[in-house]
Amino acid sequence: MAEKQIIPNAYDLAVKVAETILNKSYHGVFNSQPSINDVLLFGSTMREEPAHDLDLLVLHKFHPLASYGVVTKYDEKTHSLIVNPDGNIQKGAPSESILHSMGGKDIYDLFDLEEEIDSIFHRNLASIRGTINSIEEKNYHGKLDLEFGSIEFPEPVSFMEVLDARTKFIEEEIRSKTVLYKVKALVQERGLDLGTVLDLHAMDVDLLYTQKMQDEREMAIQQCTDPTFWNTVLTTGKLYNSESGKFDIPVDQKYEGATSLFPN
Residue 70 pLDDT level (bands cut at 50, 70, 90): low
Domain ranges of the chain: 10-106+178-261, 110-176
The amino acid occupying position 27 is H
Predicted pLDDT at 182: 96
Burial class (CB in 10 A: 0-12, 13-18, 19+), 35: buried
Mean pLDDT throughout 217-233? 86
Question: Rounded distance, CA 97 to CA 89, Å?
Answer: 7
84 secondary structure, DSSP code: P
The structure's pTM equals: 0.82
DSSP element (H, E) containing 23: helix 10-24
The mean pLDDT value of the chain amounts to: 86
Residue 7 pLDDT level (bands cut at 50, 70, 90): very high
Residue 215 pLDDT level (bands cut at 50, 70, 90): confident
